Amino acid sequence: MVGLESRCLARYPVSMPYEQMSDEALLERIARCDRAALAALYDRYAAAAMTVATLVTGQRAAAEAVVEQLFWSVWRGEIPAGSRVRHHLMLGARQLARGRVAFPLGG
């Protein structure tokens, strides 16, 4: 398995603005430790993920923690290749939020 340090060594030029890149192109750049690509994906989907998480948890603080955890998983490369990114993120937000409801911190 390639470690984070190994995958982050190569840098590639940006051919278009991040906002215009497809989700798949952003994921490829995130896999190379491109923080700006992660920021672009976050800007694209964080509000929707926050809505899902808030609906499930009923708590803004818990929903914020869910979204943070979700995007850390993106950074770690945990979205399966070939998956629909939006679908994966919204499903992930729902599953993480359900976990917070079922097993709340501190009790």
Question: What is the per-residue pLDDT across 10-56, written as a single tens digit (0 to 9) for each?
Answer: 666 777 899 999 999 999 999 999 999 999 999 999 999 999 999 99
pTM: 0.84
Residue-level pLDDT at 69: 96
Asked if residue 9 has pLDDT above 60, the reply is: no
Residue-level pLDDT at 1: 42
Q: State the Cα–Cα distance between residues 6 and 65, nearest whole angstrom.
A: 28
Residue-level pLDDT at 51: 97
The answer to whether 70 touches 92, Cβ cutoff 8 Å, is: yes
